[in-house]
Amino acid sequence: MSVAETAFVETQAPAPAPKPNKVKPRRFLLPLLLPAVILLALLSIYPLGWLIYSSFHSVSLAPGAPQEWVGGDNWSRMIKDPLYWHSWGILAKYSIVSMALEVGLGTLLAVLLNRSKHEKVLVTLMLMPMMMAPVVAGLLWQYLYNGTFGWYFWFLESVGLLHGGTILGDPSLALWAIVVVDVWEWTPLVALIVLSGLKLVPKDQMEASWMDGAGPVRSFFQVALPSIKASLIIAVLLRFMDNIRIIDHFIALTGGGPANSTKVLPLFLYEQSFSFFDLGYGSTIALTLLLVTILLGKFVVTSFEEREPKRLKDEGEVL
């Protein structure tokens, strides 16, 4: 057993098999559990019911306006709506590209940070963007990209990559500009997740691989990569989840324009619901988005459990 594994077991001491208890656990644990569960049910199951109900109604927010049953109208409208499918496409494009960049750059950073003497300081500095409110990050980058007084625009022009024009006003550039913001804010998170995986790679294995004549790159793919695969999956899932969850960058930077080129699905939903106040149609779109989230969530939970050390099955008490 390697050093890393031993350390892990020490901190995660498994609980022993349950012993007879004096008070019935049910009477003790249930009151502890219920308040949170009831609160969460009120805030999630009731709204979910409302969503399903509204997706079959025409919902107007005018006071006293009746909610009309419209059957499957919202659903068939959604399926026929080219903008709906277009926004899925943009979301997929955005997520895949930003994730590929974040995973690539993040893994590289993690490998380099792994043995750095200044790991603590560097990690702290790299954490900073993640603490910034995404909408503020969006505003800040909108300023940096600005064609007249943005420093990044000035820099790109000065090195000859741009010749006038705009960044965020150009339908072929805007989405990639937002990808860069996402990469700036979240690559460090991917790096830190991978770093935690790298710490579990047995060092002697790494060295043995090098002794056998494999270069650093081949050793990385043969020895380190299988060990950090679980970390990479978690990083990708978490990032994808957040790309669906948070649209603040888009709202601050482009609002979906120019020419819908940055209209990701959650932004499309936001617009239908809170610019046009078409909550019935909004509910329909929201349900499809939730469905995808739940499927993803299933993957997340499974991959988290795979990485957790196996706990004894009979730990704790029967409720």
Partner 1 sequence: MTSSVLTQAQTDEEEVSPGPAIDMRDQVVKGQGSRWSGIVISGFIALYVIFTLIPFFIMLTTALKPAGEALNLPATGDWGGALKKLFVFTPTFEHFSSLFSQNNFSKYLLNSVLAAVGSAVISVVFGTTAAYAISRGRFRGKGDLYFWIISTRMAPVVAVTVPLYAIFKNLGLLNTIPGLVLAYTVFNLPFAIWILKGFFDAVPYDIEEAYMVDGHSRWQALLKIVPLVVPGLAAVLVLCILLAWNDYIFAAVMGGESAKTLPVATQGLKSASGIDWGQIMAAGTVTVAPMLLLGIVIRKYMVQGLTMGAVKQ
Site for partner 1 in 160-199 (CB under 8 A): 184, 188-189, 192-193, 196
Q: Is 300 among the residues that bind partner 1 (CB under 8 A)?
A: yes
Query: Which region among 72-80, 95-103, 150-158, 166-174 touches partner 1 (by CB under 8 A)?
Result: 150-158
In single-letter form, the type of residue at position 233 comes to: I
Q: Does 126 bind partner 1 (CB under 8 A)?
A: yes
Q: Which of 198, 204, 229 is nearest to 307 (CA)?
A: 229
- Find the binder of partner 1 among 5, 65, 259, 298 (CB under 8 A): 298
Q: Which is nearer to partner 1, 123 or 225 (CB)?
A: 123
Two tokens, residue 319? 């409720």
Encoding tokens for residue 276? Answer: 């046009």
Query: Restricting to residues 64-123, which ones interact with partner 1 according to CB under 8 A?
Result: 108-109, 111-117, 122-123
Exactly one of 1, 6, 23, 62 binds partner 1 (CB under 8 A); that residue is 23
50 makes contact with partner 1 (CB under 8 A): yes
Closest distance to partner 1 from the beta carbon of 191 (Å)? 9
Q: Which residues face 69 on adjacent strands?
A: 57
248 binds partner 1 (CB under 8 A): yes
Q: Which residues contact 177 (CB under 8 A, 6 or more apart)?
A: 141, 145, 167, 168, 253
Q: Which residue, 80 or 117, has its beta carbon nearer to partner 1? A: 117
The single residue listed with the structure tokens 């000859």 is: 160
Q: Which of 58, 261, 72 is nearest to 178 (CA)?
A: 261
Contacts 24+ apart (CB under 8 A), 213-221: 220/111
> Shortest distance, CB of residue 186 to partner 1, whole angstroms?
9
Amino acid 281 reads Y
Shortest distance in whole angstroms from residue 259 CB to partner 1: 21
300 token code pair: 């997340």
Per CB under 8 A, 282 contacts partner 1? yes
